[in-house]
Amino acid sequence: MEPAGQAPSGGAATMEVTSTPTGPGVDVSDVWRFFGSFPALGGMSFTAPYGQVTALVGPNGAGKTTLLLILASLLKPHRGRVLVAGCDPTVDPAGVRAVTGWMPDTFGVYDQLTVREYLRFFGQAYKLGRAMLAARVTELLDLVHLTEYVDQPVHVLSRGQKQRLALTRALVHRPRVLLLDEPASGLDPRSRVELRDILRDLAAQGTAVLVSSHILAELEEIADRVVLVAGGRTVGEYAMADLRAQARRAYRVRALDPDALNRTLRDQGIAHSTVDGAVELAELTEEQAAQTLAGLVAAGVGVVAFEPLGSDLESVYLAMTEERR
């Protein structure tokens, strides 16, 4: 572990937080951004608090990447205001950069460098001291399991490994705010689990993590909060737990006696259909599902399987984007 109180870091990877940050890590209020006359962002607003992983979820073209570019101090918003760690990137980009880590969705790495050289370069570009940099490089490569590649050229890394290397680049200066654009895309399941663990750890240490994706299920286990966006606007902001509670989804039911099952459902007035020989119930909340199951059991139906179909979050997401039309 590094000595605490290292320059601009807020102690992202150490438990000691040098200054208690006030306000949210990311504060976006009514942000507009046009490309030509097309509004890529049309009044997006949300916050991403410290110590939590916030998922920014929406279909392709919802404005997620544009927003992250604004937060990363690369693009100016045309209207509205964003604050990253309390700094306005249009006014004080240097202040934002010192405390923000950003990983774009598509990025290049310097193929000719070794993994160590790559990280050292960015460490120096973030003004880390030489002595602490060497330790930081070791620590980060250990974190993403790339230690054995330290002296390998970057081009021998696989796609997933490059993604992990890019994550270490974004983390090299211990940012208090971490912005990741589609980090889970193209990762194998194992890498995804590792990414989840890393992000959960960072959040636990007080970092504000903002992760974008167009697949809600991808972030189901990573995020504490979900910001749904579509067409450049915020559609809703939810705690992941609330979202699960109100999620409706279809259930598949199997019983010892399919006829009895069908009959009972008909008698109890529960909408259902038969798909490939199995009975499927129309979309239910978790509470409705529990009641239905209790009803079936009470009626003496020998239920052998009662399983939800698909991700619960996917259905919320589909419903949200449905409403928009």
Partner 1 sequence: MMNPAHVWLVVAQEFRIRLRTGRWRWLLGAWLVLLALFTLLLDFGLKTGDSYLPDHSLRGIPLFGFLMLFVLGSMLIISPALTAQTINGDRERGTLATLQVTRLRPAEIALGKLLAGWSVGLVALALSIPFAGYAMTQGGLTIGRVAAVYGVVALLIGTVCAVSQALSALLARSITSALLSYVVTMTLAVGTLVAFALALPLTEERVVAVNPDGHRYTVNLSHPERVWWLLAPNPFVIVADAAPRVPPRVSGTGIESYDPLSLIGNDVRQLRSPQGWFVYTSGSLPDSEDKPVWPYGLGFSVLLGAGSVLVTIRRLRTPTDRLPRGVRVA
Q: Which residues sit at the interface with partner 1, rule CB under 8 A?
A: 35, 65, 69-70, 72-76, 89-90, 93-94, 97-98, 100, 102, 104-110, 112-113, 117, 121-122, 124-127, 166, 169
Beta bridge mates, 77: none
Taking alpha carbons only, the member of 185, 184, 214, 205 closest to residue 196 is 184
**Which of 124, 274 has the CB closer to partner 1?**
124
Length of the chain: 325
**Which of 65, 205 has the CB closer to partner 1?**
65
Q: How far is the CB of 229 from partner 1 (least distance, A)?
A: 19
**Which of 169, 272 has the CB closer to partner 1?**
169
Q: How far is the CB of 151 from partner 1 (least distance, A)?
A: 14
**Which of 110, 188 has the CB closer to partner 1?**
110
**Which of 100, 315 has the CB closer to partner 1?**
100
**Which of 105, 237 has the CB closer to partner 1?**
105
Instruction: Determine how β-strand 79-84 pairs with β-strand 26-35.
Output: antiparallel
Reduced to 3 states (helix: H, G, I; strand: E, B; else coil), residue 220 is coil
Q: How far is the CB of 273 from partner 1 (least distance, A)?
A: 46
Q: What spatial distance separates the first Cα and last Cα of the chain, rounded to whole Å?
A: 51
Residues contacting 85, CB < 8 A, separation 6+: 10, 21, 25, 95, 96, 99, 100, 176, 177, 208
**Which of 89, 240 has the CB closer to partner 1?**
89
**How far is residue 114's CA from residue 147's CA, in Å, rounded to a whole number?**
12
Q: How far is the CB of 167 from partner 1 (least distance, A)?
A: 12
> Is residue 225 within 8 Å of 237, Cβ to Cβ?
yes
Q: How far is the CB of 27 from partner 1 (least distance, A)?
A: 17
DSSP class of residue 274 equals: E
Q: How far is the CB of 286 from partner 1 (least distance, A)?
A: 40
What is the distance of C-alpha 223 from the center of its chain?
Answer: 6
Q: How far is the CB of 36 from partner 1 (least distance, A)?
A: 9
For residue 40, give the H/E element and its range.
strand 38-48
Name the phi and psi angles at 235, rounded to 5. -95, -35
Taking alpha carbons only, the member of 75, 84, 79 closest to residue 54 is 84
Residues contacting 162, CB < 8 A, separation 6+: 109, 154
